[in-house]
């Protein structure tokens, strides 16, 4: 028998889901916003820095001086926010394979970002591996989450926008990887990298706000079983 909170008119399970969703929203939004602000501030004060041609990780490199340490911490925090948010949402979202897969991939992306923060650009191959995990994990996560949202009847623009974000991430990643071999793209290295990370950062803020609004579809309000 399901336990109910007679004062609030909701089951204990539903209240727990909403609390998990609320905290997930907070860490997702704060993690993304602080990273965007840190990146914008450091780019503004980095002499001669051109975001169209320079890698994001250059902001944490030796050339960034003392500010580089703050940027590395910011990268670590955005990864930690993604990891914690995904773990919390696994217990709050409807039980669909695509949503569970999306959250697992988001955890991996978070671990990758945390690794980028712990192993800055000058640490060589470890940094590159961690960045690849973050980039690929985020893109695939958005695709899986978008499919899951569609399946459970979540807000349609949110579902479609999430999936489109995943496509943008992965297409930009391919172009980023091949940029040195494609005429016209070699000078847009920085822009392409920002197109990789922008979709998941935007998603984290938009979905976080949607969760805080109380209108997101959670497990207790899920539609009947659907094939996933």
Distances in whole angstroms, Cα of residue 102 to Cα of each of 13, 56, 105, 209: 22, 25, 5, 19
CB atoms within 10 A of CB 98: 18
Which secondary structure element, helix H or strand E, spans residue 177, and what is its range? helix 156-178
What would the pLDDT profile of 125-179 be if each residue is shown by its tens digit?
899 999 999 999 999 999 999 999 999 999 999 999 999 999 999 999 999 999 8
* Per-residue pLDDT at 30 exceeds 90: yes
pLDDT averaged over every residue in the chain: 89
- Helix then strand count (H, E) for the chain reads 6, 2
Which secondary structure element, helix H or strand E, spans residue 4, and what is its range? strand 4-5
DSSP track, 132-145: HHHHHHHHHHHHHH
What would the pLDDT profile of 123-135 be if each residue is shown by its tens digit?
778 999 999 999 9
């Amino acid at each position: 028998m399901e336990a109910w909170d007679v004062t609030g008119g909701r089951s204990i399970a539903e209240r727990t889901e909403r609390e998990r969703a609320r905290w997930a929203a907070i860490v997702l939004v704060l993690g993304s916003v602080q990273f965007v602000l840190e990146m914008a501030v450091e780019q503004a004060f980095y002499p001669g820095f051109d975001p169209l041609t320079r890698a994001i990780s250059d902001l944490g490199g030796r050339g960034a001086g003392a500010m580089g340490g703050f940027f590395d911490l910011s990268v670590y925090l955005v990864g930690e926010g993604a990891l914690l948010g995904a773990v919390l949402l696994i217990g709050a979202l409807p039980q669909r394979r695509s949503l569970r897969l999306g959250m697992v991939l988001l955890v991996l992306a978070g671990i990758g970002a945390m690794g980028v923060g712990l192993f800055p650009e000058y640490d060589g191959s470890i940094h590159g591996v961690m960045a690849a995990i973050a980039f690929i994990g985020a893109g695939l996560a958005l695709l899986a989450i978008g499919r899951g949202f569609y399946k459970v009847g979540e807000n349609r623009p949110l579902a479609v926008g999430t999936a489109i974000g995943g496509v943008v991430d992965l297409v930009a990643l391919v172009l980023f990887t091949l940029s040195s071999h494609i005429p016209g793209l070699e000078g847009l290295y920085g822009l392409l990298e920002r197109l990789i990370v922008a979709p998941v950062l935007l998603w984290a803020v938009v979905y976080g706000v949607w969760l805080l609004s109380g209108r997101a579809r959670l497990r207790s309000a899920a539609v009947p079983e659907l094939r996933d």
